[in-house]
Amino acid sequence: MIEIASNQDIPALVALINSAYRGEGSKQGWTTEADLIQGLRTDEDNLAEVINDPATTFLKYTNEEGQIIGCMRLQQQQDRLYLGMLTVSPALQAQGLGKKLLKAADELALAKNCRSIFMTVFSVRPELIAWYERHGYQKTGKVIPFKHNEKFEVVAQELEFFELEKMIG
């Protein structure tokens, strides 16, 4: 089930997001950033700030037992919806859960009368960019330098993002 996350979900969400992006455990999935960045992807304070942002809808994907197995951030920025922190448990990746989350993003964008959904993806992740392109996203040509969070991230190399966008409606 996909529904809006609350502050009580923060500890489980932090554990899920960090498990999917960073550390050795993330390498069992294909979306890991462990070889690019060491440290945490987020912490409870950072995620509380994101979830409590009035422009943000933070969705969680739960299984039949109520365990959070996926999530994403959707932040309205004028007539566009920013998609971030799209996360699926590494053990459950490549089973269609990410596609379901993208569909939920499309539905929210339509409900909020947004013309598009956009995101940033590391330029050195061609397989991830290709996955988003198969789901209707296109590179906009915009390249954004990565500014890591020195509070908990250590980068192995200079990184940059490509902006991807999907038109809605």
Average pLDDT over residues 50-79: 97
Q: Give the amino acid at 160.
A: E
CA distance 89 to 80: 27
Count other C-beta atoms under 10 Å from residue 139's C-beta. 15
**Which tokens is 148 given?**
């890591």
pTM of this structure: 0.89
Residue 21's pLDDT band, with cuts at 50, 70 and 90, is confident
pLDDT for 115-144, tens place per residue? 999 999 989 889 999 999 999 999 999 999
Q: Residue 94: what pLDDT?
A: 84
Which amino acid belongs to residue 19?
S
The pLDDT of residue 90: 86
Average pLDDT of the residues in 66-76: 97
Residue 25 pLDDT grade (very low, low, confident, very high; cuts 50, 70, 90): low
Instruction: Give the chain's mean pLDDT.
Output: 89
Q: Which residue segments constitute the domains of the chain, with CATH numbers given?
A: 2-167 (3.40.630.30)
